[in-house]
Amino acid sequence: MTTMRESSRKLAQGSIVWAKVADPKGNRKLRPVVIISESSEMVLDSPLVGVAVTTSFPDPPPIEYVELPWGHPRHPATQLGRRSAAVCRWLVELTPSQVEAVRGFVPTKTLLEIVRRVRKLNRPDESNDANSREEL
Can you give the residue ranges of every domain in the chain? Answer: 4-125
User: pLDDT tens digits, residue range 38-90?
Assistant: 988 888 778 999 999 999 999 999 999 999 999 999 999 999 999 999 999 99
Flag whether pLDDT at 14 surpasses 90.
Answer: yes
- Nearest to 114, CA basis, from 43, 24, 53: 53
Nearest residue to 32 (alpha-carbon basis) of 52, 55, 56: 52
The correct answer on CATH 2.30.30.110 for the domain covering 4-125 is: yes
Predicted structure pTM score: 0.84
90: number of Cβ within 10 Å: 19
